[in-house]
Copies of this chain bind each other. A is one copy, B any other.
Amino acid sequence: MTEKQPPPAPLGLALRHAHLRAARTFAEELRPLELENVYAAVLINLGLLGSQTQRQLMDSVGSDKSAMVRHIDSLESRGLVRRRPHPTDRRAHAVELTDAGEAALAEVLVAASRTEERLLTCLEPAERGRFRELLGRFAYPAPERTCE
């Protein structure tokens, strides 16, 4: 096989590898909790932002709406979240953490911070904040015309 130095990987491939690496590390850290990455992401979002509609959770977690129905079903059957009537929109559900969900979230946050610590050892301490900041703007572009 040809043995060349790998040229700079295409941006999309680098993002795929970065995401795979992060997802695998997170999955390892979550294994003792018997929680999958997506479920952990839902709990984290509910913890950060409080009660959310399924629509909001879709957007913040990045799953589509039928997947989100199943995720909430699973989390609800495990007693970690509950669906409540939305106070102003009768079509929507307000999904919120139960007490068991709050407890699970605390463990998830520990797993998440251990994950980030492991992932970021690749970068110099001074670079870590810069990377997060650039990644944040790349991942969540402001809806201005500078960013289509």
Contact = CB atoms under 8 A, between A and B. Distances in A.
Contacts of A33: none
| Copies of this protein in the complex | 2
Interface in A130-148: 130-132, 134-142, 146-148
Interface residues of A, number: 62
A15 B136 CA distance: 9
Given A15-B18, A60-B13, A61-B13, A50 B4 contact: yes
Interface of A is mostly: helix
A2 B136 contact: no
A49 B22 CA distance: 25
A7 to B, nearest CB: 6
A135 B44 CA distance: 24
A134 B53 CA distance: 35
Given A118-B148, A121-B148, A122-B147, A135 B41 contact: no
A1 B84 CA distance: 11
